[in-house]
A and B are shown apart, each in its own frame.
Chain A
Amino acid sequence: AQKITQTQPGMFVQEKEAVTLDCTYDTSDPSYGLFWYKQPSSGEMIFLIYQGSYDQQNATEGRYSLNFQKARKSANLVISASQLGDSAMYFCAMREVNFNKFYFGSGTKLNVKP
């Protein structure tokens, strides 16, 4: 089974609107961390947000929030008030703490329209 699944290869959103990027995960490790990264066309990988498996509250970082639903094994990224500069590839990732392995999804390409 895939460790990280991102089912949206590409998405469009209008500038200033909110958008949700989907991510589901699969692990038997009770201790894990979930991450979202942004990769612009220039190639650098930029950390956006982190959620630990034991965190009770959803993580937020500025315009980014992570909708963590543990029972459903989902960790969706919500970007509020989209900006043109948000156009990029977005990757969901997971670290299995006890197994010390790290997995990335296949990514979602977000295009923000003016």
Chain B
Amino acid sequence: ETGVTQSPTHLIKTRGQQVTLRCSSQSGHNTVSWYQQALGQGPQFIFQYYREEENGRGNFPPRFSGLQFPNYSSELNVNALELDDSALYLCASSLAREWDEQYFGPGTRLTVT
């Protein structure tokens, strides 16, 4: 059974650029959630995708968008990067309705300069 994987591990971007982060769900999981974790803080929920549809969203602006593919892998896209977007981005996969089995990936560290 393959765990949740994320790519890339680290990324450096310039303010105003766009970035795409990728997540591969654990085998058999059809739900993926994305979180932003700033240094020294708890993760903040960005959004969740279930069967390729957005299924819940936190307080993030529209420049944060996502996709889920038929194989349940997922992308997080951030446009017009700001310095405050620098953070660890975590994705987590689960079976719908089984949030007690939400498995996290190792995260992507994004630095915006």
For chain A, what secondary structure do more than half of its interface residues adopt (helix, strand, loop), or is it mixed?
A: strand
Report the separation of the CA atoms of residues A103 and B99 in the bound assembly, to the nearest whole angstrom.
13
Contacts of B56 in A (CB 8 A): 99-102
Which residues of chain B from 45 to 73 have any CB-CB distance to chain A below 8 Å in the complex?
45, 48, 55-58
Q: Please, how many residues of chain B have a CB less than 8 angstroms from a CB on the other chain?
A: 23
Are A33 and B104 in touch, CB under 8 angstroms?
no
Q: Please, how many residues of chain A have a CB less than 8 angstroms from a CB on the other chain?
A: 22
Contacts of A43 in B (CB 8 A): 88, 106-107
Are B99 and A33 in touch, CB under 8 angstroms?
yes
Q: Assess whether B7 is interfacial by the CB under 8 Å rule.
A: no
Which residues of chain B from 72 to 113 have any CB-CB distance to chain A below 8 Å in the complex?
88, 90, 92, 99-104, 106-107
Are A91 and B43 in touch, CB under 8 angstroms?
yes
Q: Assess whether A12 is interfacial by the CB under 8 Å rule.
A: no
Contacts of A105 in B (CB 8 A): 42
Assess A33 versus B55: contact at CB under 8 Å? Given A43-B106, A45-B43.
no
Contacts of B102 in A (CB 8 A): 35, 47
Report the separation of the CA atoms of residues A43 and B107 in the bound assembly, to the nearest whole angstrom.
8
Q: Assess whether B33 is interfacial by the CB under 8 Å rule.
A: yes
Report the separation of the CA atoms of residues A103 and B44 in the bound assembly, to the nearest whole angstrom.
7
Q: Assess whether B2 is interfacial by the CB under 8 Å rule.
A: no
Q: Assess whether A106 is interfacial by the CB under 8 Å rule.
A: yes
Are B41 and A106 in touch, CB under 8 angstroms?
yes
Are B42 and A45 in touch, CB under 8 angstroms?
no
Report the separation of the CA atoms of residues A60 and B1 in the bound assembly, to the nearest whole angstrom.
26
Report the separation of the CA atoms of residues A106 and B48 in the bound assembly, to the nearest whole angstrom.
21
Q: Which residue of B lies closest to A47 (CB)?
A: B102
**B7: shortest Cβ distance to chain A, in Å?**
15
Q: Assess whether A50 is interfacial by the CB under 8 Å rule.
A: yes
Q: Which are the 7 A-B pairs with shortest beta-carbon distances?
A: A100-B56, A50-B100, A104-B42, A45-B104, A102-B45, A104-B43, A95-B99
Chain B residues within 8 Å of A, Cβ to Cβ: 33, 35, 41-45, 48, 55-58, 88, 90, 92, 99-104, 106-107
